[in-house]
Amino acid sequence: MLKKLLIIVFFMLFAFQVQGMEVIKISNYTVNVDVDKNPQHIAYNITLQNMVNYPLVPGIGEFRLQKQESEKLWIIPIPFTKEVKPLRVENLKGYYSFDGVNKIPMKTYVEYHNNYSIIKYEIWEPIEKRGNISIFIEYDANILDEGILFKTLSIPVGCSMNIDHLHVRFNTKDYSQTYQNPSGDNFKVPKNTLFMINAEFSIIPLPRLPTYGYIIFWLIVFTLLLIILIYGEIRSLGKEKNGDNKKDSNENNNP
């Protein structure tokens, strides 16, 4: 046990001597979101790549999580507003694997802060030179912002390492996906950058829209209400004018 600990300390100290170098990166980062479950189930499959010719110990890693919701007027979301809060995590599990098949449980835990939460994991086995390690993390959380006809969510992705390939996939049979920004399924994320993917789903079978469907929906509702009000005012003015004309006609006909 002491020998293993000394080896780990040696590799960590050696890694600290080359902090200015790119020694490790994320070659693949896949997020799968089961939208239909309540709470939603989120699963990460991440590949860390050792880029140097000596072993590296990952140590403690972390994911920052946030839930972004639109502010609401009663039940109506207010466009272009944002409320940020920490994401409450349940049923957290974590594993790592050197061969992609045999999964080893790893220590995972959550820390909550003012407007974000952090999932932390610990791996104290070295990645062989130029080798890879696969990390699997899954948890349940309410990430959907519930609306009447539309549901929105935001997936934040950020890391102190470069991400070569980021894939975010939404699995649903109950809803149609009406919006995603940015669109696509393969992104490159520079280190120390917060990358946000926003998506929307609806119980109405709609195609992909150029913006949030709830914005279009409420715009149509308000437009129809405005048309009805204007039409009502025009009819009211027309009735008043007809009434005045009849009154004037009656006065003219009286001797």
Does this model's pTM top 0.75? My answer is yes
Average pLDDT, rounded, for the chain: 82
Long-range residue pairs from 176-182, CB within 8 A, at least 24 positions apart, any chain: 176/201, 176/202, 176/204, 176/205, 176/206, 176/207, 177/201, 177/208, 178/150, 178/202, 178/206, 178/207, 178/208, 178/209, 178/212, 178/213, 179/208, 179/209, 179/211, 179/212, 179/213, 180/208
Task: Quickly state the pLDDT bin for 150 (edges 50, 70, 90).
Answer: very high
Please report, for the chain, the start and end positions of each structural domain, with discontinuous segments joined by +.
Answer: 2-211, 213-255
Kindly report which listed range (17-21, 29-33, 113-117, 220-224) carries the lowest average pLDDT score: 17-21
Rounded Cα distance between 152 and 185, Å, is 18
Picking from 135, 117, 137, the residue whose alpha carbon sits closest to that of residue 125 is 135
Residues 6+ away with beta carbon under 8 Å from 187: 163, 165, 166, 167, 195
- The class of domain 2-211 in CATH terms is mainly beta
For 88-118, the pLDDT digits (tens) are 999 999 999 998 889 999 999 999 998 888 8
Task: Quickly state the pLDDT bin for 243 (edges 50, 70, 90).
Answer: low
Task: Quickly state the pLDDT bin for 240 (edges 50, 70, 90).
Answer: low
